[in-house]
């Protein structure tokens, strides 16, 4: 008589009997070293029904006990139960399960298994969902947003008070041989900014040293803005 193996989620590892009696199908952390199934010698996954067994023998014992199946050995009831031969005689396999101490009273009912699977699913969903913010965290976010709105000018109107960076005219090689055009004198514009009307955009380059005061002004302004923002936060007052 052949029976199919159940899902791996039908039951979970169990520890042996303790001073308080058996705990039905509870999970228990196992040492890292490999364990051997007490029934067939395969790699065990934990304690199942009070015995260290593999998933195959766990499912076989559970199905046999729930369905109350009676197996008959065609030989002398001395068939070897190993990983390779455990399917050849189910009667001897079941008998060995009982001989090593697997207990029928530790098998959970289908209804109990369904409840446990549902509970595990709820716990898994709870772990996957991001945790909400605490009231303290939300208050801190509100404070930061309010401070940002009070100190940040989205129109950047403050930058209009700063003069643009000074730019110099660098003659292009293709214009060196061209006749020099007459440029009217503009007293209000420094000589360094006077640009020939026929020059291209790439011929106008920034003067590195003359831009330093410009960047210094902008840096000072930004530092002041950061300080004003920090003053709006209670922790920095």
- pLDDT at residue 171, rounded to an integer: 55
Short-list 97, 19, 32, CA closest to 58: 97
Dist. CA 53–CA 219, nearest whole Å: 70
Give the pair of three-digit tokens for residue 16.
């042996």
Q: What is the pLDDT of residue 218?
A: 82
The reported pTM is: 0.41
pLDDT at 188: 43
Q: Which CATH superfamily is domain 35-128 in?
A: Erythroid Transcription Factor GATA-1, subunit A (3.30.50.10)
Q: What is the pLDDT of residue 8?
A: 40
Positions of the chain with pLDDT under 50: 1-30, 175-176, 183-200
Q: From the CB of residue 138, how many other CB atoms can be counted at a distance below 10 Å?
A: 11
Per-residue pLDDT at 172:
52
Confidence (pLDDT) at 192:
42
At 13-37, the pLDDT tens digits run: 444 444 444 444 444 444 556 899 9
For residues 96 and 132, is the Cβ–Cβ distance under 8 A? no
Calpha distance 153→167 (Å, rounded): 28
Bridge partners (DSSP) of residue 100 are none
* Structure-token pair, residue 37: 């199934």
Going through 105-210 in order, the beta strands assigned E by DSSP cover 167-169, 204-206
Domain boundaries, the chain: 35-128, 135-236
DSSP label at residue 236: G
- How many angstroms from the chain centroid is the CA of residue 97? 42
What is the predicted pLDDT for the residue at 207? 61
């Amino acid at each position: 008589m052949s029976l199919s193996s159940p899902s791996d989620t039908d039951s979970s590892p169990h520890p042996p009997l303790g001073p308080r009696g058996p705990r039905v199908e509870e999970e228990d952390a196992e040492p890292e070293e490999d364990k051997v199934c007490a029934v067939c010698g395969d790699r065990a996954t934990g304690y199942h029904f009070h015995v260290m067994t593999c998933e195959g023998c766990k499912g076989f014992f559970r199905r046999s006990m729930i369905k109350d199946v009676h197996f008959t050995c065609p030989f002398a009831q001395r068939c070897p139960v190993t990983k390779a031969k455990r399917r050849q005689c189910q009667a001897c396999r079941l008998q060995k399960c009982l001989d090593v101490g697997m207990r029928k009273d530790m098998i959970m009912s289908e209804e109990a298994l369904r409840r446990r699977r549902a509970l595990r699913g709820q716990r898994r969903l709870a772990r996957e969902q991001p945790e909400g913010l605490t009231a303290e965290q939300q208050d801190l976010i509100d404070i930061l947003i309010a401070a940002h709105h009070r100190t940040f000018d989205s129109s950047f109107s403050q930058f209009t008070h700063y003069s643009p960076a000074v730019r110099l005219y660098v003659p292009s090689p293709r214009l060196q041989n061209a006749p020099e055009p007459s440029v009217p004198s503009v007293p209000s514009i420094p000589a360094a900014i006077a640009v020939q009307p026929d020059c291209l955009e790439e011929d106008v380059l920034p003067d590195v040293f003359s831009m330093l005061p410009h960047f210094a002004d902008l840096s000072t302004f930004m530092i002041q803005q950061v300080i004003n923002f920090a003053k709006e936060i209670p922790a920095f007052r």
